[in-house]
Homo-oligomer: A and B are copies of this chain.
Amino acid sequence: MPILLYDLVGADTGRPFSPHCWKVAMALAHKGLEFTSMPAPFTQIPALEGGATKIVPLIRDGETLVSDSFDIALYLEETYPDRPTLFGGEGGKAMARFVERWSQLTIHPFLGTAILMEIHDCLAPEDQAHFRRTREPRFGKPIEEVPLDRDDRLAGFRASLEPLRSMLTYQPFIGGASPLFSDYIVFGAFQFARVVSPYQALAGDDPIRDWFERCLALHGGLGARVPAAA
Number of copies: 2
The majority secondary structure among interface residues of chain A is: helix
Q: Is A216 an interface residue (CB 8 A)?
A: no
Known: A87-B91, A91-B85, A91-B91. A98 touches B99 (CB 8 A): yes
> Chain B nearest CB: distance from A139 CB in Å?
19
> Chain B nearest CB: distance from A69 CB in Å?
14
Q: How far is the CA of A163 from the CA of B164 in the complex (A)?
A: 14
Q: Which of A94, A96, A166, A167 has the most CB of B within 10 A?
A: A94
Q: How far is the CA of A166 from the CA of B104 in the complex (A)?
A: 10
Contact present for A97 and B171 (CB under 8 Å): yes
Size band of the interface chain A makes with B: 20 to 34
Contact present for A180 and B92 (CB under 8 Å): no
Q: Is A105 an interface residue (CB 8 A)?
A: yes
Contact present for A163 and B105 (CB under 8 Å): yes
Within 8 A of B (CB), among A60-92: 85, 87-92
Q: Is A126 an interface residue (CB 8 A)?
A: no
Q: Is A175 an interface residue (CB 8 A)?
A: yes
Q: Is A5 an interface residue (CB 8 A)?
A: no
Q: How far is the CA of A174 from the CA of B170 in the complex (A)?
A: 21
Cβ of A148: which chain B residues have Cβ within 8 Å of it?
none
Q: Is A102 an interface residue (CB 8 A)?
A: yes
Contact present for A98 and B176 (CB under 8 Å): no
Q: Is A93 an interface residue (CB 8 A)?
A: yes
B-contacting residues of A (Cβ < 8 Å)? 85, 87-99, 101-102, 104-106, 162-164, 166-167, 170-171, 173-177, 180, 182
